[in-house]
């Protein structure tokens, strides 16, 4: 079974600075997807960025980028020019890309989350 | 532009009572999921469905039942609520292709006294 570990329960960053959130995962599969979701106090789960394991190039979405190290099974999220609106709980998640008849591989396995505080 | 809608948003139950949480999606997604979120635990999969009329167990299915009679709706039932089921429940849906992300509802906060 896959596991996802976020070793930083809480992080803080000054507004306009850069912060990196860590995520490691354990899997025996070679093809999979990794996601970062943001959960603000409103409780919504918002997709921030995703990475396909077969792609060597790190994904980027505006101020958000990842450092994907497949051999090390590491998937960190970098937030540049942090804004007050970035304050939220961030979850790393894993999903298999291997098709099975039951569909169970389509589920997301989540880490426990990192609470990010942005200080003005 | 509704996406995934969960009903109700809050509920307080007494131990032993029953209730049903409703999830509705308007994106024609084949796959639907129910997760629970507890402090320090992240989200854990309760049940999921890969299509109308199908359901399957996730990681923590005990004490819950589900039904998917219509493609757009996925119901989560608690037959006899227990305090251990106090949690925030999230519904999600996705297309049946592995590279598509899951879309989440806003959650239901359920307290069992």
pLDDT band of A97, cuts 50, 70, 90:
confident
A32-36, A78-82, B57-61, B100-104, range with greatest mean pLDDT: A78-82
- Output the CA torsion sign for B57, B63, B68, B69: positive
How many Cβ atoms are within 10 Å of A73's Cβ, its own excluded? 17
Residue B66, pLDDT score: 97
pLDDT above 70 as % of chain B: 96
Residue A99, pLDDT score: 65
Measured between alpha carbons, how far is A84 from A96 in angstroms, rounded to an integer? 33
- Residue B43: is its pLDDT beyond 70? yes
Cβ within 8 Å, pair B31-A103? yes
Cβ within 8 Å, pair A52-B101? no
Cβ within 8 Å, pair A113-B92? no
- Report the greatest alpha carbon distance in chain B: 41
Give residue for tokens 């943001």.
A38
- Residue B2: is its pLDDT beyond 80? no
Return the residue of A nearest to B88 by Cα: A43
- Residue A102: is its pLDDT beyond 60? no
Measured between alpha carbons, how far is A9 from A113 in angstroms, rounded to an integer? 6
The dihedrals phi and psi of A96, each to the nearest 5 degrees, come to: -65, 150
Give residue for tokens 């299509």.
B51
Measured between alpha carbons, how far is A19 from A116 in angstroms, rounded to an integer? 9
Q: Which residues in chain A have Cβ-Cβ distances shorter than 8 Å to B107?
A: 43-45
What is the DSSP code (8-state) at residue A108?
Answer: -
Burial B32-67 (b: 16+ CB within 10 A, else e): bbbbbbeeeebbbbbbbbbeeeebeebebbeebebe
Quick one: average pLDDT of B89-110? Answer: 86
The dihedrals phi and psi of A85, each to the nearest 5 degrees, come to: -70, -10
Task: Find residues 23-82 of chain B whose CB sits inside 8 Å of chain A.
Answer: 31, 33, 40-45, 48, 50, 56, 58
Mean pLDDT over the full length of chain A: 91
């Amino acid at each position: 079974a896959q596991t996802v570990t976020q070793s930083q329960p809480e992080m803080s960053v000054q507004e306009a600075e850069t912060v990196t959130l860590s995520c490691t995962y354990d899997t025996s599969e070679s093809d999979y997807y990794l996601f970062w979701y943001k959960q603000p106090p409103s409780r919504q789960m918002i997709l921030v960025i995703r990475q396909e394991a077969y792609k060597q190039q790190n994904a980027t979405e505006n101020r958000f980028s990842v450092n994907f190290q497949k051999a090390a099974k590491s998937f960190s999220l970098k937030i540049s020019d942090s804004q007050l609106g970035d304050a939220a709980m961030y979850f790393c998640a894993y999903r298999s890309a291997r098709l099975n008849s039951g569909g169970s591989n389509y589920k997301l396995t989540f880490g426990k989350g990192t609470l990010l505080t942005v200080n003005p | 532009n509704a996406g995934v809608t969960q009903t109700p948003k809050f509920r307080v139950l007494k131990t032993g009572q029953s209730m049903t949480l409703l999830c509705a999606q308007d994106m024609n997604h084949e796959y639907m999921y129910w997760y629970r979120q507890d402090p320090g635990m992240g989200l854990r999969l309760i049940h999921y469905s890969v299509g109308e009329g199908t359901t399957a167990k996730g990681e923590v299915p005990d004490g819950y039942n589900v039904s998917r009679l219509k493609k757009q709706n996925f119901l989560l039932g608690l037959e006899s609520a227990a305090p251990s089921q106090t949690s925030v429940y999230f519904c999600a849906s996705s297309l049946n292709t592995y590279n598509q992300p899951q879309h989440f509802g806003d959650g239901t906060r359920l307290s069992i006294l």
